[in-house]
Homo-oligomer: A and B are copies of this chain.
Amino acid sequence: MLDTDHVTTLVVLDLIGIFVFSVTGALVAVRKHLDLFAATVLAGVTGLGGGFIRDVLIGATPPAALADWRYLLVPATAGVITFFFHPAIGRVERVVTLFDAFGLALFCVTGALKAVEYGLGPLPAALLGMVTGIGGGIMRDVLAGRVPVIFEGALYATPALAGAAVVVLLDGVGVPLGVVVVAGFGMCLGWRLLALVRGWQAPLPKGPANV
């Protein structure tokens, strides 16, 4: 397993990922002209929601974030900061999107590892890794009254699923944990950044949709 230094590193990375996800949640609230409370809630939901869905589904309740006040203060802080300084943050949104890709890559890895730890098979563990990465953003969009942005062509969930699948496969054949983490993280981050840079899109339906 991991020694203390590595655990500290993982927690710090995790908190950074939650912070960035939370910023995207609060930005959506501001752009919908919602109030300070909504900004904080959407921050928390976006930062922690994916992990909550995973933990509820695998029966790991109460979710770890509820047992550690740092995991609750980080999104609250991100929400308040974003609410008051949103024009400045909105101007560096490309930076936010970059960090968001980093958070996605981190969460698909930690989510898949936790599902494996709780005894789930390879396919559900990979799916739950993806859900950990994308669940918060989906809840954010539903609460803000819009169709989830990742449903409209953004190549976002597929890299998360790929990263989680790499984790599950390598972990399953006994590759050391450090390598597993780096490989899954790199797969998701690389694919997501390429999609951003090249403007790749998920396939949209063709032909008339007789409503």
Interface of chain A: mostly helix, strand, loop or mixed? helix
Query: In the complex, how many angstroms separate the beta carbon of A186 from the nearest chain B beta carbon?
Result: 21
Q: Is A124 an interface residue (CB 8 A)?
A: yes
In residues 65-82 of chain A, which contact B (Cβ within 8 Å)? Answer: 66-67, 69, 72-73
Query: In the complex, how many angstroms separate the beta carbon of A127 from the nearest chain B beta carbon?
Result: 7
| Contacting residue for A56 out of B61, B157, B158, CB 8 A | B61
Query: In the complex, how many angstroms separate the beta carbon of A50 from the nearest chain B beta carbon?
Result: 14
Chain-B contact segment, one of A7-15, A36-44, A99-107, A173-181: A36-44
Q: Is A90 an interface residue (CB 8 A)?
A: yes
Residues of A at the B interface (CB closer than 8 Å) are 29-39, 41, 52, 56-59, 61-63, 66-67, 69, 72-73, 83, 86-87, 90-91, 118, 120-121, 123-124, 127-128, 138, 142-148, 150-153, 157-158, 201-205, 207-211
